[in-house]
Structures are given as structure tokens and as C-alpha cells.
A = this chain, B = another copy of it.
Amino acid sequence: MAAAGALDRRQRRRQETIEEILDVAVAVMTEQGVAGLTLGEVARRMGIRPPSLYGYFDGKHALYDALFERGWRALQRVLEQAGATGDGADPLTAWREGTAVLVRWAVEHPAHSALMFWRPVPGFTPSARAYEPAVELDAASRVLLVRLRDAGHLAADVDVDRAYRTWTALVGGVISQQLSNAPDEPFESGTFTAVLPDVMDMWLGHHRSNPSAR
């Protein structure tokens, strides 16, 4: 039992170090840009030497990969807490609020967002494991979209896939513009996040009256 306790303690300590590395990396990325992350700067802020980081991550890309996965998992979590993926609430409310929560999270986590939504790092491609929560969230969003249609908020013959793609473009556009042009503005009063209600109305109106025909 003593050995197991020591192992737990050691593993917990290790986990704490991993968390610290990731937190510091996010801070560096927020200040210097996602591609401006350097292992030297992370090590410097932690008071260790760059090679020591290799005891926790297999290089810089592994760090990006962990941040990519954690970003999607964190987004998943806030959406679940907002009740956006549950079956209880009215689909329309869930859709509207879920979208707002998504955009808020994105602008409040610019470094994660840039890594997740754009691909600013030359050689980096997320692993299948890191991609998993993104795929799950995609599937959950499509399910909710179907419920939105079945509840009569969208035209019965709407092209769900096309409508979903359109929605991602609109929401992604608001996030993109806000982060590129005014990253320091808060969600509530952002130059672009402020038009999110308009954008939602636009999308809902279009798919309520105008079906996918074109």
C-alpha cells in the first residue's frame, strides 16, 4: 500500500507539472501568437531547462496536440453545463444559448481558438485522439439541429447538412473577425460578437421560410 501511495503521489506531482506546462504555454501563445510558442520561453518561465520539458511531452507538436484536445474538451464541458446538448430544454433556446456560449468561450480563449479553428502552425496536424472531442461535438450539434427542425423551428424539408455548414461559417466568421480585429474586446461589447443575435436571426429566418432549394 505504501508503494501504491508513493506512486499516486508521484503521478499526481507529474500531472501537476503537465498542467503547469500547458498553462504557461497558453500564456505564451496568448502573448506571442500560437506560432510564437517556444519551448525555451516555457522553460524560462517555469525556471527549468528546455530539455526537461521532454520528460512530459514529446516535443512542441505534442504540446500543441494536448492543447488542441483540451480546448475541445473544455468547450464540450461549458456547452454541457449550459444545457446545450441535453434533451430537456426547448431546442431553439438550447441552440441560441449554445451558440452564444460557444462564441463567448472562443473569444475568451483566443489562443485555444486559433489553434482549434485555424491551422496556424506549419507542421502540426492534430492526432486522432485530439480530434475525438471535436468530432463528438460536431455529432451532438447535428443531432440538436435535427431536433430543432423536428420541433418546427426549421422548415421540414431543410437540408440539414447544408444548414449546419452555413451555421458553422456564420458563427466561425463572427469569432474569426472578433479575434483578428479586436481580440481585447469582451464578448458582451465586441464589435463583431455584438452582431451575433442578428446573425442567429438571419440564419433562423432563412431556414424557417426558405428551404434548401437553390
Q: Mark A191-214, 1 if CB is under 8 A from B, else 0.
A: 110010111011101100010001
Q: How far, in angstroms, from A160 to B37 measured CA to CA in the complex?
A: 39
CB<8 Å pairs between A and B, sample of 15: A33-B121, A35-B121, A118-B118, A118-B120, A120-B120, A162-B198, A168-B173, A168-B177, A169-B174, A169-B176, A169-B192, A172-B177, A173-B174, A173-B177, A205-B210
CB–CB A35/B120 < 8 A: yes
Q: How far, in angstroms, from A36 to B168 measured CA to CA in the complex?
A: 27
Number of interface residues of A (CB under 8 A): 38
Cβ 8 A contact of A205, one of B121, B177, B197, B202: B202
Q: How far, in angstroms, from A126 to B180 measured CA to CA in the complex?
A: 13
Residue A56 interfacial (CB < 8 Å): no
Using Cβ atoms and an 8 Å threshold, which residues of chain B touch A173? 168-174, 176-177
Cβ 8 A contact of A192, one of B34, B165, B176: B165
CB–CB A195/B172 < 8 A: no
Q: How far, in angstroms, from A174 to B167 measured CA to CA in the complex?
A: 10
Residue A54 interfacial (CB < 8 Å): no
Which 3 residue pairs are nearest across A and B when measured between Cβ atoms? Answer: A173-B173, A36-B122, A33-B122
CB–CB B195/A206 < 8 A: no
Using Cβ atoms and an 8 Å threshold, which residues of chain B touch A177? 165, 168-169, 172-173
Using Cβ atoms and an 8 Å threshold, which residues of chain B touch A180? 117-119
Residue from A169, A176, A206 having most chain B Cβ neighbours under 10 A? A169
Q: Which partner residue on chain B sits nearest A214 by CB separation?
A: B197
Q: Which partner residue on chain B sits nearest A204 by CB separation?
A: B202
Cβ 8 A contact of A195, one of B162, B171, B205: B162
